[in-house]
Amino acid sequence: MHAPLSRFQNSRPELRARPGTIRRAAVHLSLSGVSHGYGDRLLLDRVDLTVTDGERIAVVGENGAGKSTLLRLMAGQEQPEAGTVAIHGRASRLAQTQDSAARVGALLAEAAARAAEAEPGADPSAEEADLDEAANAVVRAEVSLAIALERLGVGHLARTGEDRTLGSLSGGEAERIALALALADPAPILLLDEPTNHLDAEALAWLEAEIAARPGIVVAVSHDRDFLDRFARVIVEVDADTRSVRRYGNGYAGYRAEKARERREWERAYAAWVAAKEHERGKAAAVADRVAYGRRTDNDKSGYNYFGQRVSAAIESQVRSARERLRRLEAAPVLPPPRPLHLASAFTADAGASITLSGAAVPGRLAPLDLALAPGERLLVTGPNGAGKSTLLGVLAGLVPCTGGASVARAPGGAGGPAAVSLLPQEIPPPPDPQTRLLAAYAAGLHGDLDDHAEALMHTGLFRVGDFFVPVGSLSAGQYRRLALARILAGRPELLLLDEPTNHLAPLLVDELEEALAGYRGTLVIASHDRALSRWFGGLGGPAGPGRRLAISRSGPGSPGTRPSRGPRP
């Protein structure tokens, strides 16, 4: 273990020094007229945004809209193509992905070195007592790192895993180490990209308390709806359609209410524009018909003179006026609101599969477990990190060998052969070829031609047609997870296994996902720490009755051989 940290590994959380009273210059961030993108893809266009000292801001938006890009600009890790970014105060950023080659020991040493520096943002005019406090801040930062590692469940890696690379750890372990390092950094500007991924209930509660007590600025991108509700009063949305950024007040609930109101107004404005255009077009056509009727042929001079001289000029003036109004409407169109993503029809299954586990166990990973699920039943698996939730889903998918008995069978009367099982893993393997286009990656290994696959992918509602030819290596973590979800849906699974399905997905898409799962007819097993999803599951019915829950611990179920609870829990 790195020497500066070793003396704190036995520290108890209650002994942690309280934050000091160092006087520091006020910190703030500002973006002025910022435009930025990659290649020919513009993500942010003329963005203005200011964040002041003490603010807690949550960043939301569709997957791939540019949220992580915004954080990189705020951290000074990328320079905008146009506009300016002013950063007053040092920034620490937690990225969504980590350097797989970095060694744990080197990262801890780097964090300790940062902690030994002078307090970031310290006022040069500070008195001697304040300088003493700055020295104490070094100790506090080192204690903070040791405690953060323990509270996030990776303290053992600081003690025994210094020579390991992040790539040799599970994705959850690597991300929790990175989160601990970011939280222990005393930088007055903290930028977090999906900090709640891979955290169990205890770690989530600690993280929220830690951020609430931290001085300075905290900006977080998150899909976690409960975290958004508790963390921030200000929501910043990155809009993928307009490439703009907008602030909303009154927290996440206020943001959702305002977005719903905006959507209704936009739909009304678009409907009114379409109606006005059709009215003017019809009016112009009707008046033109009257002109034609009023005219007579050259052989009926007297009739033409009678009608034409009295009304033709006036009617033709009305035609010109109607056409001019139509021209003005078409010159200033109201664009249609973006089509919401609709997942519900993509979750299809003819029947569910039954599950039977009898003393199923994986040594060192999953304690012996008995479980029976009938076709169409739903099960939510909860428990702390390391309890074996992902291992259990791997056993059910037939990917992890186990001792004891484990079987998955089609419902009686179903087609012959094994049940169709699909697993959305917590960690999606990287693409074999980053240059593969999204549509080709979706279609790989599936029967049928590319046009059929394009129609099927569009039908899922997970992507727009414009995304189909984007290289998968340029997808955001959330977009890549959408692609994995689309591929498992293509198999029409009778048993659907979802491991932390809400990770990286945009909050509004998570709402869509829950709605879609409510109509799924197959057997469903979800492993999740998501508190909002857990509440939703409590009210979820299904073909075989209310949803059931299975809470497992690091030593196994509450009592081996018991059936999971049925129905909601308080």
pTM value?
0.78
Question: What's the angle, vertex CA 500, arms to CA 486 and CA 153, rounded to 5?
Answer: 150
In the DSSP assignment, the letter for residue 122 is B
Q: How far is residue 429's CA from residue 434's CA, in Å, rounded to a whole number?
A: 12
When the pLDDT of each residue in the chain is averaged and rounded to a whole number, the result is 82
CATH superfamily name and code, 344-566 = P-loop containing nucleotide triphosphate hydrolases (3.40.50.300)
Span 472-512, pLDDT tens digits: 998 988 899 999 999 988 888 889 999 999 998 888 888 88
pLDDT at 17 over 50: no
So what's the pLDDT on residue 312?
Answer: 66
More confident residue, 91 or 95: 91
Q: Which amino acid is at 7?
A: R
Span 36-71, pLDDT tens digits: 999 888 999 999 999 999 999 999 998 889 999 999
Mean pLDDT score, 294-314: 55
Span 309-350, pLDDT tens digits: 555 666 777 777 878 888 888 888 888 887 665 565 666 666
So what's the pLDDT on residue 100?
Answer: 77
Q: pLDDT-based confidence at 439, cuts 50/70/90? A: very high
So what's the pLDDT on residue 137?
Answer: 63
β partners of residue 408: 355
pLDDT at 535 over 60: yes
DSSP string, 171-230: HHHHHHHHHHHHHHS--SEEEEESTTTT--HHHHHHHHHHHHH--SEEEEE---HHHHHH
Q: How far is residue 480's CA from residue 465's CA, in Å, rounded to a whole number?
A: 16
pLDDT at 560 over 50: no
Range with the poorest average pLDDT among 9-13, 107-111, 466-470: 9-13
pLDDT at 121 over 70: no
Phi, psi angle pair for 110, to nearest 5°: -65, -40
Q: pLDDT-based confidence at 175, cuts 50/70/90? A: confident
More confident residue, 41 or 290: 41
Question: What's the angle, vertex CA 16, arms to CA 13 and CA 19, rounded to 5?
Answer: 135
So what's the pLDDT on residue 44?
Answer: 97
So what's the pLDDT on residue 125?
Answer: 52
- As given in the structure block, the two tokens for residue 284 are 């112009």
β partners of residue 358: 405
Work out the number of other CB atoms within 10 angstroms of the CB of residue 33.
Answer: 12
Long-range CB pairs of 162-166, under 8 A, 24+ apart, other chains included: 162/1, 162/2, 162/103, 162/104, 162/105, 162/108, 163/103, 163/104, 163/105, 164/103, 164/104, 165/100, 165/101, 165/102, 165/103, 165/104, 166/98, 166/99, 166/100, 166/101, 166/102, 166/103, 166/104, 166/107
Pick the CATH number of 3-241 from 3.30.200.20, 3.30.590.20, 3.40.50.300, 3.40.50.2300: 3.40.50.300
Span 388-406, pLDDT tens digits: 999 999 999 999 999 998 9
Which of helix, strand or coil describes residue 552? Answer: strand
Which of helix, strand or coil describes residue 312? Answer: helix
pLDDT at 215 over 80: yes
So what's the pLDDT on residue 515?
Answer: 85
Span 358-367, pLDDT tens digits: 999 999 889 8
So what's the pLDDT on residue 8?
Answer: 45
